[in-house]
Amino acid sequence: MENQNARASEEKMGKRRKSISIKSICTNIVLCSLLAVFTQCASSQNTEKTAPVKVKEPYFQKWNSSIEEGGSGFLVYLPIEESSNIQLEYAYFKGKKIKLERKAREAVYVGKYVNRAKKKGYKMHVDPKKEYGNEFPESPEKIPYELKGNECVIEYTKNNKKEHFRLDNLPEKKVEGVPMQIRQ
C-alpha cells in the first residue's frame, strides 16, 4: 500500500514538473515575443513619407579643411519653398544628428557636421597617474533611426509640435576644388 502511494505521489510530481516546465517555457516565449514587439515599436519613429513643405533639390557636400587641425565633414543643404508655420530643426543623416540653421533672407536650411581632427599629445604611460590631463574621446550620439545609404530624416516643428519626414535619397554634390594662392 505504501509503495502504491509513493508511486502515485511520484507520478503526480512528475506531471507537475512537466506542466511547470511547459508553462514556464510558454510564458518565456510570450514574454520574449512581447519584448521584441515593443522594442521594435519604440525604435521606429513615425515619419511622414510626404514632406509638409516642398524641398527643392536637396543635397549634401563633403568637405576637407586645408589645415591639419581643421578636420573634415559634410554639409546638408535643404532649399525649401517659403512656409511660415514650419521650422526645420535637425537632419538625421549618415548616422549623425545635425542641427539645421536657416540662412538669412533665403529659403535654405544648412546643417554642418564636423569630424574633428584627432588631437595629438595624449600622454601614454605605464603609470596611470602620469596620464592625468588626457581627455576622454567623444562618443557619438546614437540616432533613433536605422538609415540606409543616403536616406535622411528631417525633424521639424509645426504648431509647437515636433514631427519628422523622410527623404529617400539625398544626393551628393561634388565640391569644386579651388587651389590656394601662395602669397608673395
Q: Per-residue pLDDT tens for 23-82?
A: 777 676 766 565 555 554 444 456 666 777 888 899 999 988 777 667 788 999 999 887
Q: Is residue 141 part of a domain?
A: yes
17 plus 74 within the same structural domain: no
Average pLDDT over residues 119-127: 70
Average pLDDT over residues 146-164: 90
pLDDT at residue 112 above 90?
yes
Q: Is residue 67 part of a domain?
A: yes
In the chain, how many domains are there? 2
Alpha carbon distance 19, 32 (integer Å) = 20
Neighbouring-strand partners of residue 158: 86, 161
Q: Is residue 27 part of a domain?
A: yes
144 plus 106 within the same structural domain: yes
131 plus 160 within the same structural domain: yes
25 plus 89 within the same structural domain: no
145 plus 70 within the same structural domain: yes
pLDDT at residue 179 above 60?
no
- Among 55, 154, 153, 158, which Cα is nearest to 107's? 55
In one-letter notation, the amino acid at residue 123 is K
CA dihedral 38, 44, 50, 51 (to 10 degrees): 130
75 plus 161 within the same structural domain: yes
Cell readout for 10 is 511520484
69 plus 140 within the same structural domain: yes
Burial class (CB in 10 A: 0-12, 13-18, 19+), 110: middle
Q: Is residue 120 part of a domain?
A: yes
Percent of the chain beyond pLDDT 70?
A: 63
75 plus 158 within the same structural domain: yes
Q: Is residue 108 part of a domain?
A: yes
* Cα–Cα separations (whole angstroms), residue 136 to 120, 125, 132: 13, 16, 11
Structural domain including 99 reads: 59-167
Q: Is residue 184 part of a domain?
A: no
Q: Is residue 52 part of a domain?
A: no
State the Rg of the chain over Cα.
Answer: 29
What DSSP element (H or E) covers 115? strand 108-115
- In this predicted model, which residue has the larger pLDDT, 117 or 136? 136
64 plus 148 within the same structural domain: yes
The answer to whether the CB of 60 falls within 8 A of the CB of 174 is no
CA dihedral 65, 171, 76, 73 (to 10 degrees): -30
Cell readout for 16 is 507537475
118 plus 153 within the same structural domain: yes
Mean pLDDT of the chain: 76
63 plus 150 within the same structural domain: yes
Q: Is residue 53 part of a domain?
A: no
Residue 101: its pLDDT value, please? 94
The answer to whether the CB of 95 falls within 8 A of the CB of 87 is no
Q: For residue 73, count other CB atoms closer than 10 A to its CB.
A: 17
Cell readout for 82 is 517659403
Collapsing DSSP states into helix, strand and coil, what is residue 175?
coil
117 plus 74 within the same structural domain: yes
